Amino acid sequence: MSDKIVLHHVPGSRSLRTLWLLSEMGITPEIENYAIPDGSLRTPDFLARSPAGRVPALEIDGQVIYESGAITEYLCETRPEHGLGRAVGDPERVPFLEAMHYAETMAVLVANLNLQWIFLRDPSQRSDTVVKIDARRLAATMAPLEKLLAQQDWILASGFSGADTMLGWNFLATPKYVRMDDFPNLAAYVARFSARPGFVRAKELDGPANFGRQDFYSVETSK
């Protein structure tokens, strides 16, 4: 079995969740970079690794895994010495699993907003109604986490875990669409995880994001 670990990655995208988790474990993968608009995620070679042409895909332990949540669970379960997962029977098992999936409840809203604001070739096709609704729905998913993080530093009360690498990445993306001033606990959480050596290392390896150059997108500011 090959020891090589290869992360198929788009800088700034959900594959940063995986890069960050690996960095927290002290693992530096080989990185294969792609870009969303240039068709590189739709080649037969890449589709053989990730059937919908999405990142992350991780080559590890002689197989390829796609879906950031599945990768997070796999890495935490197969490398328990890092203490970043919560196994069956752990009192935090349910909140851990909820975080894996809640992260995507939020991230699909970000993806829809990215599509509307950044990836549509013809901006006149953007729907003001849809982007307003999706930004409101995204803020609504942030509200319970804002409350939670008033009481604790990390997503799980017992400490930093894979739940943070899954959910934390979302708050690097949400400021494009939701004003973080309304979410001071989430802003403090971002500052807290940004200071972690594992995150700093992941950002060094990540490279500059190659999409979405504007800081904030809203119907009001685009008029």
Ligand X SMILES: N[C@@H](CCC(=O)N[C@@H](CS)C(=O)NCC(=O)O)C(=O)O
Footprint of ligand X (CB under 6 A): 10, 13-14, 36, 41, 53-56, 67-69, 104, 111
C-alpha closest to that of 205 among 1, 9, 2: 9
Residues 55, 68: Cα–Cα separation, whole Å: 8
Classify residue 193 as exposed, middle or buried by CB count within 10 Å of its CB (0-12, 13-18, 19+). buried
* H/E segment holding residue 119: none
Nearer to ligand X, 111 or 148 (CB): 111
CB 145, min distance to ligand X, A: 18
The least distance separating ligand X from the CB of residue 131, rounded to whole angstroms, comes to 18
DSSP 175-194: GGTS-GGG-HHHHHHHHHHH
Question: What is the nearest approach in angstroms of ligand X to the Cβ of residue 135?
Answer: 18
Pick the closer one to ligand X by CB: 118 or 139. Answer: 118
In angstroms, what is the minimal distance from the CB of 220 to ligand X? Answer: 26
| Residue 106, token pair as written in the block | 């939020």
Q: Rounded to the nearest whole angstrom, what is the least distance from the CB of residue 15 to ligand X in the complex?
A: 7
Q: Which is nearer to ligand X, 185 or 210 (CB)?
A: 210
Residue (of 211, 7, 16) closest to 118 by Cα position: 211
The answer to whether 149 touches 185, Cβ cutoff 8 Å, is yes
Closest CB to ligand X among 56 and 95?
56
**CB-CB contact of 98 with 92 (8 Å):** no
CB nearer to ligand X: pick between 23 and 50: 50
Q: How far is the CB of 54 from ligand X (least distance, A)?
A: 3
Using DSSP's 3-state secondary structure scheme, residue 162 falls into helix
The 10 Å Cβ neighbour count of residue 81 is 6
